Structure 1
Amino acid sequence: MNILWGLNVIAVKMAVMAIAPLTAGFLRQLIVLVVCASALRIVPGRMRLLTILGILSGGVFYVAINFSLAISDNVGALAIAGQLGVPFSLLLAILVFRERIRLPRIAGIALSFGGVVLLVFDPAAAREVPGLALTAIGSFIWAICSLIQRYLIGVPVLTIYAWIGFWGTITLGTLAWFIEPVAMRAIPDLPLRTLGWVAFSALGSTVIGQGSMSWLLQRHPVSIVTPLTLAAPVVSVFAASWYFGTPLTVLMLSGGAVAMLGVAIVTIRTARAGDTP
């Protein structure tokens, strides 16, 4: 699961370079919809939340993330900034659920944001500020979606992703048709290699990766499973550096280490709290 999530940043970058950001996102969500279509069904009392989640998670999130990767070269820096979703989620939980936190998680939030800020001072990553900003926006949207999913407990995972694929296909398809008409018309002529990058994201990262996470959480405590996912951004940073030949400077590694330390503190402490009834 960590490997699939870690390598996904390469697949998405290759897809948005070869196709176009919105069109690539549309194809990804279309594949998710096709794979999960058998689980698409009306869930009484939950359709408003499923619709909001689908538009945000399947549509708006990928607008921010795909454009961030399309305009950036240092993919590793974006992978680090993408971890801001964890502290954002905690901050939203504090605001919405009035969740109380103590000093360790407060320190974790500060370290998470501080580590990303350090990237701005790295010459190798400083020019990626627009991409980092879009990634931060995407992380905030992801945090909102994680909050919504708290209200969808009991809804089958495949049904949730079927609706995400459904609304994502509609949202991104509509935007792409008006903004990227040339790319949309060129879909039938796309080579299999290019479609393979999109399929890897849809099947590997979304269906298999998220499905594996759900399978693990049904069988093991949150405090054991969640911290193990911290390996994914580490895989992303080093894999992206190797594949695209981007430098890993001391300042970037330091900022990444500080950010990941903060994310680790928040993740582990929050996971332990989630194990209590």
Structure 2
Amino acid sequence: MPITHLFLALAVVFVWGTNFVVIHWGLAEFPPFVFATLRFTLSTLPWVFFIPRPAVGWRTLAQFGVLLGAGQFGLLYLAMRSEISPGLASLLMQSQVFFTIGAAVVFQGERMKALQVPATLMAVAGVALIGWHGIAGGGGSITALGLVLVLCASASWAGANIVARSAGRINALSFMVWSSPFAVPPLALLALAFDGWPAIAQSIPQASLAGWSTVLWQAIGNTLFGYGVWNWLLARHPASTITPTALLVPVFGMTASAWVLGESLDAWKVGAAALVMGGLVLNLLASRP
């Protein structure tokens, strides 16, 4: 792989990892579901008028949009408002890999490979360590509600992955843009139900330029650039060459949260990260032919 392509892959992973800090900044100005609604609105418009629709059915687009929008990001934003630190969120969201494996076994009849069993057990041990020290041990950075919300967000992401698999080989950027409209109605309803109209009416006009920049970054930097470049790279190189770089997402996420926001990197966090990352590496090895 040319060095320029490697740098592009690392740039995407850097954007995805540090995005958890950007989410933290955005939630300081927008309620969670309002923030998510704005993100997917700007992931739709005006791009839907310029990017061709992927060759998949409307039902597939709707399923993916609802699972990714209302499920993954709606719950993630809700958790990150006050229930979990950005660094831990970036780590726990990687559990989607193992939820995806489980869903594929249950719903698609796939069989787990030998290495995937210890890989999953390692990741579960990492999550348990976060739960014990972060919640029961009073370690801060996460609450029981935050743990549940992020794990549910990861499960929703896994569901979206299964839907995307069923769609076959398609353009990921086009798929993201055309599925985004289906995320907007449920997120808007959740915003009305949980955030309330007064909070919506107050936050949108009063948001600063920095606040709106976080929304634009979610839509353009994280979604259009991230998925667009990632798809471009996957079209030119084997997945086994590109996907290992995604292991750096929680590394960038936890480092950025510590450096920019001052989140502490306690020994139990490093240990939990080592277990989850170790599980991800084993799963990656299991996926190789």
TM-score by length of 2: 0.87
Alignment gaps of 5+ in structure 2 = 1-11
Aligned equivalent of 2:8: none
Cα shift readout 1:160-190 (whole Å, capped 9, x = no counterpart): 2123221112221232234321232131332
Aligned partners of 2:84 and 2:142 also within 8 Å: no
Equivalent of 2:164, from 130, 138, 149? 149
Identify the range of structure 1 (44-53 vs 111-120) with the bigger mean alpha-carbon deviation.
44-53
Q: Which residue of 2 aligns with 1:241?
A: 258
User: Shift of the alpha carbon at 1:126?
Assistant: 7.0
Structure-to-structure mapping, 1:198-209, within 5 angstroms: 198-209=215-226
Q: Distance in 2 between matches of 1:229 and 1:42?
A: 27
Q: Tell me the distance in 2 between the aligned counterparts of 1:160 and 1:264.
A: 28
1:88-127 → structure 2 map (5 Å cutoff): 88-122=99-133, 123-125=138-140, 127=142
CA drift of 1:27 comes to 0.8
Measured against aligned partners, the alpha-carbon deviations of 1:27-59 in whole angstroms (never above 9, x if no partner) come to: 111110114212576667611111111111122
Q: Which moved more, 1:98-107 or 1:35-44?
A: 35-44
Moved more, 127-136 or 221-230: 127-136
TM-superposed CA distance for 1:102, in Å, is: 2.8
Residues 74 and 102 of structure 1: CA distance in aligned 2, closer, same or farther (over 3 Å) = same
Q: Which residue of 1 aligns with 2:41?
A: 30
In 2, distance between residues paired with 1:258 and 1:124? 18
2:212 to 192, 195, 207: 195
Would you say the 8 A contact 1:80–1:116 is kept in 2? no
Normalized against structure 1, the TM-score is what? 0.91
- 3-state DSSP class of the match of 2:227? helix
1:113-134: per-residue Cα shift (whole Å, max 9, x none)? 1111111232424752211211
* 2:71 aligned partner: 60
Matching residue's letter, 2:201: R
- C-alpha deviations, 1:83-142, integer Å up to 9, x for none? 100111111111222222232111101111111111123242475221121111000000
Kindly indicate whether the alpha-carbon contact (under 8 Å) linking 1:9 and 1:236 is maintained by their aligned counterparts in 2: yes
Equivalent residue number for residue 174 of structure 1: 189
Gaps of 5+ in 1: none
Alignment counterpart, residue 160 of structure 1, candidates 175, 184, 198: 175
**Pair 45,18 (structure 1): closer, same or farther in 2 beyond 3 Å:** closer
Q: Give the alignment's Cα RMSD to 1 decimal.
A: 1.9
Query: Equivalents in 2 of 1:48, 1:185: separation in Å?
Result: 32
Q: Is the 8 A contact 1:7 1:236 kept in 2?
A: yes
CA distance in 2, matches of 1:222, 1:115: 26
2:155 corresponds to which of 140, 153, 175: 140
> CA offset at residue 199 of structure 1?
1.3
Residue 257 of structure 1: aligned partner: 274
* Identity in percent: 23
Distance 1:158 1:247, change over 3 A: closer
Aligned to 2:232: 215
Equivalent residue, structure 2, for 1:9:
20
Question: Which position in structure 1 is the counterpart of 2:94?
Answer: 83
Q: Is the 8 A contact 2:14 2:249 kept in 1?
A: yes
| Change in 2 beyond 3 A, CA 1:131/1:28 | same
Q: Which runs of 4+ in 1 moved over 3 A?
A: 39-45
The whole-number CA distance in structure 1 between the counterparts of 2:113 and 2:282 is 12
Task: Answer whether contact 1:36 1:161 (CA < 8 A) is retained.
Answer: no
